[in-house]
A and B are shown apart, each in its own frame.
Chain A
Amino acid sequence: MAFRTIPQLMENLPETSREDPKEWLREALQNAVTL
């Protein structure tokens, strides 16, 4: 798996969590691991 930078990760953070909380959580938690 290639390394993504933190800004690249943040690009994938969905703007809203309302439609698919599970998918939003997966991206949010990718960020949270290094927060």
Chain B
Amino acid sequence: MIVRLIIRRLFFLIFVLLGLSLITFTLSHVVPSDPARMIAGPRASPEAVEKIRKEYGLDQPLWRQYVRYVSGLVRFDFGKSLTSRRPVAEDLKRYLPATIELALASMLFAVILGIPLGILSAVQRNSLLDLFGRTISILGLSIPSFWLALVLQFILFAQLGLLPDGQRLPIGVKEPPPVTGLFTIDALLAGNLPLFFLALKHLVMPSLVLGLAALAIVTRMVRSGMLEVLGQDYIRTARAKGLRPSTVILRHALKNALLPAVTVIGLQFGLLMGGAVLVEIIFSWPGIGRYAFQAIQNFDYNAVISVTLVVGAAYVLVNLLVDIAYVLLDPRIRVT
């Protein structure tokens, strides 16, 4: 059952990826400027520009360039970045861990705070805590992340000096030996506690900003899911049996209330990736969002295509995982 679902979705994934690459490829060829001229520089001779055009395959017909690109993709060959002149795959490998660390930390922040807040908000409905939960869940979606980032930088960095204003580690501090690429985890693995706390300190502000919208949505979903479940008969039965309120809520209600939240948590990934671009730029966070933005500035379309593709692919994969988790959690659902 589940195996069939996975195979079906993986098959679908191939088509989605092809479609994604087609969309971005089309886009990159609407660019008004000449990429060969961009690489060669403004003072290069026409011959040099032609040579680069040949070298990068930019003289080929469009469909050829596309086929060449897609056949490369299968081998994880994203082509060369037009500005760094390194393979894009290498660049991605370098910048992806920073984004993953940021996204995971934001998600963790949203889930760890959002689930209890949603539960308490529902259980103590119309209390002060509920008011707080509801305020978070609507304000979190209304504050522009790029503005919040600047405000927090102003307060926590410039005024109070509590947290650093950007980067993953201070300049000059040696990175932990790479295992996962996530500085906090790697520092722990190396048994270097001071470095762990230093990396964590740098992670706090960006993940808070990025995670706020997700926190709002998780809180809201858990709250409304909980409210709906708490009104049902089997909860009344459990209460009537004389079970302790905490048992009723944690053992009986929570599992059913969390189901819709799981789907929504998965969908937040897309929101996080979009927000990551803004947050990474403001906090000088060396992830793929900032990389993509710099690529855009330089008309480096290979890099832009690759980041967009990788993000799109990751988004589809996460949704697949969410679907599977949903089926595993809820045996009533039979996706065919």
Does A associate with B in a complex? no
Chain B interfacial positions (CB closer than 8 Å to A): none
